[in-house]
Amino acid sequence: MLKEFKEFIAEGNVLEVAVGFIMASTFGAIVKSLVEDILTPLISAATAGIDFKDWVVNVAGVKLGVGIFVNTIITFLITAFVMFLIVKTFNRFKKKEAVEEAVEEPTKEEVLLTEIRDLLKK
Averaged in consecutive runs of 10 residues, what is the pLDDT profile of the chain (122 residues)? 77 76 87 88 82 84 89 89 88 78 78 88 82
Core vs surface per residue 1-38: b (16+ CB within 10 A) or e:
eeeeeeeeeeeeeeeeeeeeeeeeeeeeeebbeebbee
Q: How far is CA 98 from CA 31, 57, 62, 83, 106, in A?
A: 33, 54, 56, 22, 17
The pLDDT value recorded for residue 62 is 92
Question: What are the φ and ψ backbone dihedral angles of 36, each rounded to 5 degrees?
Answer: -75, -35
Domain boundaries, the chain: 1-47, 51-121
Give the pTM: 0.58
The alpha carbon dihedral of 24, 28, 29, 34 has a sign of positive
